[in-house]
Structure 1
């Protein structure tokens, strides 16, 4: 069976019907995304890998109770994020919960995802570096993870109109920081 041709609802139906091959396919296509996303929260690769494994185990063990209609990726990102943050809080009991988002998206990680020519690279990195942590997270989820505004709003615990404003302000801020003609042409 060619799983690439199936939509998420069809894939989930197969998984819910105990299709281990479909489950393995989902693991292969989403585990790398989860790992990259997890690196935004923690530099502890083992912790991130453990949470990925546990997220997929939970998904498999509860497949008969979970109903995924539109997006397996959204479900995985949401449950993964919740569990990773929970474990980080447990590991850092002396740290205030509010300090976690400040370290969540260090500029260097988001910058590494942007693959442009060297002369444009520095300018783009500078523009991204000037964004707030929430703006970085929203931009990452929207443009690198290709989630919808509705999915991102749920993950970031905010209203969709507020998210639109956050992304728009981030794009406007980046546009102002980009002076290269190539960027100005693209974003005008």
Structure 2
């Protein structure tokens, strides 16, 4: 993986209009953004991917006005969280447009307090998820580990577990659904 300094140089290249750097930033962070987005609230995958794409669209449009963040992943995760929460609030209050203050906050650089709160929330959530995963069956734990830690596709999981692809998908899906239910 690219180091922090390399990511910042890539960010600068993206700001200069380098589409390859933009695509690389997307590829480096989309999985983490997806996992984080899905962990925030019980919403559909399509909603999370729409929010991720909204974030990257805005990044491209505003690239020349953005500063280089100290931590690119943190910046992207915070932007995603703000986008998701904004859209969820908007669904509750359809008549309220995005205010200029909300819009500025969406792209502002996070403060050290934001970093601390974010890291604390992330640690607490990770600890809870680890404890809940321990309550799953060993087979479900293995399937989740293969899918999300080893980044294997369902065909590879099926082969390792000696089951068919659909059974591998079902095993992962049911484990994730059980975790979501427990987290609510």
- TM-score normalised to structure 1 length: 0.49
